[in-house]
């Protein structure tokens, strides 16, 4: 990719001018369909990262609830770090979903417009049918991603509450009062992981459909 074009694309991405970004990418043979596939793959990875961060945070809290002596400040710092990492991972998931929604809107709008350019009715009908099934597959995928996104909220809420409570009550009795929260958090994390796994499975189906000639 020419140096100046690479700079231009970077600037367009940073400034959020997506239409100019897509046009620039098409100039180097990288079309919206390719961008869509890459963004779906990125979203899958971000969800896998979030699963790992949630599980790691759960392990840290589990260790704390089994506290039988040690440096409370050190344990708090670890839990706070795990919470911050979980929050960052969740935000990355949200950003990836938004990026998919952006390119999907551009992709389907372009596809619809290009249907009017066909002179061959049979080919136009085939393309229109492919667009309808692609949209249906996309809608199933994005709905699964949105469900997974919502399941992250109770996990983050509980992690935030526990972290704040420990910050202001760093003692053994405070740890005891958090033990009742652990089973609920464990269930919330498992629910979030299950939904993310469903979203990842839908992502695989969508990519397979998109690549099906």
CATH number of the structural domain spanning residue 60: 1.20.120
Same domain membership, residue 106 and residue 67: yes
Contacts of 116 (CB under 8 A, 6+ apart): none
Same domain membership, residue 110 and residue 160: yes
Instruction: Tell me the per-residue pLDDT of 65-103, one tens digit each, with 9 for 90 and over.
Output: 777 666 778 888 888 999 999 999 999 999 999 999 999
Whole-model pTM: value is 0.85
Q: CA 45 to CA 36: how far, in whole Å?
A: 14
Q: Which of 37, 180, 50 is nearest to 103 (CA)?
A: 37
Same domain membership, residue 132 and residue 44: yes
Whether the Cβ atoms of residue 37 and residue 99 lie closer than 8 Å to each other: no
Same domain membership, residue 49 and residue 12: no
Q: Which whole-number Å values give the CA distances from 7 to 13, 21, 23, 48, 80, in the listed order?
A: 10, 11, 14, 31, 37
Instruction: Tell me the per-residue pLDDT of 114-154, one tens digit each, with 9 for 90 and over.
Output: 999 999 999 999 999 999 999 999 999 999 999 999 999 99
Whether the Cβ atoms of residue 82 and residue 53 lie closer than 8 Å to each other: yes
Same domain membership, residue 117 and residue 87: yes
Structural domain of residue 19, as residue ranges?
1-30
Q: Could you give the number of structural domains in the chain?
A: 2
Same domain membership, residue 106 and residue 23: no
Same domain membership, residue 118 and residue 197: yes
Q: CA 9 to CA 133: how far, in whole Å?
A: 31
């Amino acid at each position: 990719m020419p140096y100046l074009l690479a700079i231009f694309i970077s600037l367009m991405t940073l400034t959020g001018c997506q239409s100019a970004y897509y046009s620039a990418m098409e100039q180097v043979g990288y079309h919206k369909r390719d961008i869509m596939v890459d963004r779906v793959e990125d979203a899958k990875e971000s969800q896998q990262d979030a699963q790992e961060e949630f599980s790691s945070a759960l392990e840290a809290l589990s260790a704390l609830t089994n506290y039988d002596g040690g440096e409370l400040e050190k344990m708090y710092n670890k839990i706070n770090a795990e919470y911050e990492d979980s929050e960052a991972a969740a935000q990355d998931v949200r950003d990836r979903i938004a990026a998919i929604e952006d390119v999907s809107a551009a992709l389907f709008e372009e596809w619809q417009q290009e249907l009017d350019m066909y002179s061959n009715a049979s080919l136009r009908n085939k393309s229109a049918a492919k667009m309808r099934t692609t949209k249906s597959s996309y809608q199933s995928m994005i709905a699964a991603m949105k469900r997974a996104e919502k399941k992250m909220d109770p996990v983050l809420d509980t992690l935030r509450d526990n972290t704040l409570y420990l910050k202001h009550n760093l003692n053994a009795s405070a740890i005891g009062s958090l033990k009742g929260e652990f089973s609920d958090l464990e269930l919330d994390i498992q629910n979030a992981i299950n939904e993310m796994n469903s979203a990842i499975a839908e992502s695989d189906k969508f990519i397979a459909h998109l690549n099906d000639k």
